[in-house]
A and B are shown apart, each in its own frame.
Chain A
Amino acid sequence: MRLNCLIVDSDKSSKELLSDLIQRNSSQLKLIGSSESGREALGFFYRHQIDLIFLNVELEDMSGFEFMDEIDASEDIQTILYSEKGDYALQAFEYGVTDYLKKPFSYARFNKAINRASEVVRNVTDFEDLENILLEKVLKYMYTREIDLLSPIAVRDAKLGFIYPMLSTNLEFDEEQKALKILNAAEQEDLLTGEFVESLYLCNTCSNAYMHFRESCPFCSSTNLRTEDLIHHFPCAYVGPASDFESENERGNMVCPKCSRYLKHIGVDYDKPSVMYNCMNCDHSFQDPLVKAKCNNCGSDTRVEHLTKSTIKAYRMTELGEDVAMGKQTVRLKGFDELSEVMDMSYFRKILQQEIERLEEADLHTTIARIRFNNLPELFKETGESMQKDLVRELYEVITENIPVSDLAVFNDMITVLMLFADKDTGKAESIVNEITVIMKELVADNFHGFELDTDPKIEPVRSGASAQDIISELTENRQEV
């Protein structure tokens, strides 16, 4: 597989040298284009399928890092960053570049960098293929064995607590949760039909099913708690912890500290309506501890309300599944990149560009808005990676349900949503944004124990003559890193 390359370098001689090096490695690399400025490169980047970018840190109109911010570099895009003057190695790797080269570099060093990029791209491709290969294996196994129902088996040392015999066998412990995703995707593609077997809670970070649950202090998170019954004395209505009722003179007897009467019969003269928790770490007393689940595998500690529920099903093969098993059809599962639709910036950019062109021809009002959820990273820290995606997807669904069908929304990153309001002035857009903000705040507060979402909206009219990318950049600049 040859990687499509783009060179972004303001130094002409440096650009030519890189072109030569790419030509010399034409079995691995294909030069698609080269740009002398970051701005020009951005336009090129969005019009072509680029696998690998050779990027000089020192560009005329922006830095290489600003360029990477603009393209929102994902793991699908490999970047080899290089510089002549400064040393940016540390910053480069913080950005997750494939390799960093300090000029002048040797041909051998260049080769090492492109081999690294090729390997990453190959691994990504292989990963995508793996799910399809595994599903095909399972379908063939079911078909040749005439297995009517692929049912899970409860196994103590399995990551999910359950194993799908032919499928989980092909997965290492760390990736056993992929079995659920593969089967779910196969069900969506009508290759299998699922029947409910069990529901279970998995660790949000690593998908392990084995967690231990315990109460923790809402003030310091310590699990070192002491519990004490809360006693309600009926005659005088005094309510307090059991220790208040301990008699100093008569051990074993309980005496009300308010009315000095003896407490004799539970249910008759007193009851125990609740339990008081005392934190041995910070000495706080409280009645409602946080119940947390600590993963036995990765150690992450999550509030039980934030755990995600998964469903374990047994599966039957459909006719389409049989066709795949017999080789009449090939498997192409979709849906492994759960946020591809939510974060489809290229589509948003394209529609925005069309709107700009439309504004040049007619006297219309189109508005673009941004809402940044400033404190969402705090919530992400607690919920774990898989739930971050669920939360972003849920927010996206709420937004799309509450904007007119002619309008468009997209997540620019995990904490920033952009909305395009066609044929609406800023006033109309503002009222829609305000409405959405209220709904989202309520949604988050309801689901995360009153968590108060801090939103930062910005609403601008779309200007004719501007480029879509410029408008997006202005709206999203100084965004927070997640």
Chain B
Amino acid sequence: MGIPQPSGCNGNEKHLFIMNNTVQTLKYEELTFLRVSDRYPFHLDQIKPFDGVVIEFTEKKSSMELVKNIRSHNQQSVYLTPLFLYRLYGEPDKLIARLVDGTTSNLGDLKPIADITRKIKSRM
């Protein structure tokens, strides 16, 4: 599985780039997000070039595992990365909620998570 590169994205419009069936990239203006599913494992180093990560929430346990793995990574570019949960159903528990920077149920509107990401990145 190749590492998707944000440089492959262009334009300022919202885009969904399907890299394979488990890892995708989302672009919003100057920001590029990695979209992953909590059901499929991926290499955490893939996160580094991205501005943030959107985790598709399917169930609590696997989401928690993924969020914990990211937040306990030893490299700052991974553990400080802005994390967002994308969920259409289900309720993440309070611990996951405290470890991510926000949740969204609409990937068509990335502005809220982009605003949060910019704020975090300005202090990194």
Category for how many chain A residues contact B: 10 to 19
B72 touches A169 (CB 8 A): yes
Q: A117 at the A/B interface (Cβ < 8 Å)? A: no
A170 touches B120 (CB 8 A): no
**Chain B positions 59-76 with a Cβ under 8 Å from a chain A Cβ:** 68, 71-72, 74, 76
Q: With A146-B123, A169-B71, A169-B72 as given contacts, are A141 and B95 in contact (CB-CB < 8 Å)?
A: no
- Contact partners of B101 in chain A: CB under 8 A: 145
A137 touches B79 (CB 8 A): yes
**Chain B positions 66-100 with a Cβ under 8 Å from a chain A Cβ:** 68, 71-72, 74, 76, 79-80, 94-95, 98-99
Could you tell me the distance in whole angstroms from the C-beta of B108 to the nearest C-beta in chain A? 26
Nearest CB in chain B to that of A150: its residue = B98
B76 touches A140 (CB 8 A): yes
Q: A155 at the A/B interface (Cβ < 8 Å)? A: yes
Nearest CB in chain A to that of B116: its residue = A145
- Contact partners of A141 in chain B: CB under 8 A: 71, 79-80
Nearest CB in chain A to that of B101: its residue = A145
| Chain B interface mostly | helix
A155 touches B123 (CB 8 A): no
- Contact partners of A137 in chain B: CB under 8 A: 79
Q: A153 at the A/B interface (Cβ < 8 Å)? A: yes
Find B98's partner among A133, A146, A165 (CB 8 Å cutoff): A165
Could you tell me the distance in whole angstroms from the C-beta of A283 to the nearest C-beta in chain B? 50
Nearest CB in chain B to that of A171: its residue = B72
Q: B1 at the A/B interface (Cβ < 8 Å)? A: no
Kindly state the separation between the CA atoms of A165 and B71 in the bound complex, as whole angstroms.
Answer: 9
**Chain B positions 18-66 with a Cβ under 8 Å from a chain A Cβ:** none
The number of A-B residue pairs with CB atoms under 8 Å apart is 32
Could you tell me the distance in whole angstroms from the C-beta of A131 to the nearest C-beta in chain B? 14
Could you tell me the distance in whole angstroms from the C-beta of B50 to the nearest C-beta in chain A? 16
Kindly state the separation between the CA atoms of A153 and B71 in the bound complex, as whole angstroms.
Answer: 17
Kindly state the separation between the CA atoms of A240 and B119 in the bound complex, as whole angstroms.
Answer: 74
Kindly state the separation between the CA atoms of A141 and B73 in the bound complex, as whole angstroms.
Answer: 13
Could you tell me the distance in whole angstroms from the C-beta of A323 to the nearest C-beta in chain B? 13
Kindly state the separation between the CA atoms of A471 and B64 in the bound complex, as whole angstroms.
Answer: 60
B95 touches A144 (CB 8 A): no
Q: A163 at the A/B interface (Cβ < 8 Å)? A: yes
Interface bits A118-147 vs B (CB < 8 Å: 1, else 0): 000000000000000100010011011110
Kindly state the separation between the CA atoms of A143 and B120 in the bound complex, as whole angstroms.
Answer: 9
Find B95's partner among A143, A146, A155 (CB 8 Å cutoff): A155
A153 touches B124 (CB 8 A): no
Could you tell me the distance in whole angstroms from the C-beta of A472 to the nearest C-beta in chain B? 44
Nearest CB in chain B to that of A158: its residue = B95
Interface bits B111-124 vs A (CB < 8 Å: 1, else 0): 00000000110011
Could you tell me the distance in whole angstroms from the C-beta of A349 to the nearest C-beta in chain B? 40
Could you tell me the distance in whole angstroms from the C-beta of A77 to the nearest C-beta in chain B? 29
A-B contact pairs, 9 of them (CB 8 A): A133-B74, A141-B71, A141-B80, A143-B123, A153-B95, A155-B95, A165-B99, A166-B71, A170-B72
